Amino acid sequence: MVEALNEILKGSKVTVSAVSLNIPTSPPAEITDPNVLFIQVKEFFDKAPDTCTGWLCFTDKVAVVPEEFRFNAEASSSILLSGELARGNESLHVRQSEKGWQLFTLTREEGGGMLMVKEKYLSTREEGKKLCYENYWKKEPNKEGLEVYRPFAARFAGFEGGK
């Protein structure tokens, strides 16, 4: 199936891969304390500071990690609103929720029943830099009972290019 899709898409610069995406099935805990949120995001970064990259939106700025932001004591003076960090096949997504924030860790695994298409989006801040996302499609039954692929999730996978 994947080979047939790639044959159809040949020349379009789009490639489809067979993968699986590991997303925890239970809802993430609500984080209500901005300091606890900051510590958990920093722990994700600290596991691989040389390869971890992403963006963080604070109350006063949007920062590219690690070029424009360092995890230190003075950095925690701004409140983190949302963000996405990536290191290899794993990414951390920070989202605001009704009571504070939720953290989602997404992990790509090779092989599996999902389809994944990589997409790149131009940065609004830096000419030539692109945000890379992996978009996942999952097989689900439709109203007629036929299995069809539907969009399931998108995972931030890092940056490409830039000055």
pLDDT in tens, 51-84: 999 999 988 888 888 888 777 655 657 889 999 9
Cβ density class 112-137: b for 16+ within 10 Å, e for less: bebbbbeeeeebeeeeebbbbbbebb
C-beta atoms surrounding 151 within 10 Å: 10
* pLDDT given for residue 78 in this prediction: 80
Arithmetic mean of pLDDT over the chain: 83
Band of pLDDT at residue 15, cut at 50, 70 and 90: low
Half-sphere exposure of 112 (CA within 13 A, CB side): 17
Rounded CA separation 47/73 (Å) = 18
Mean local confidence (pLDDT), 119-140: 86
Confidence of residue 163 (pLDDT cuts 50, 70, 90): very low
**Average pLDDT for 128-152:** 89
The residue with greater pLDDT, 137 or 29, is 137
Tell which wins on pLDDT, 150 or 9. 150
Choose from 27-31, 68-72, 120-124 the range with maximum mean pLDDT: 120-124
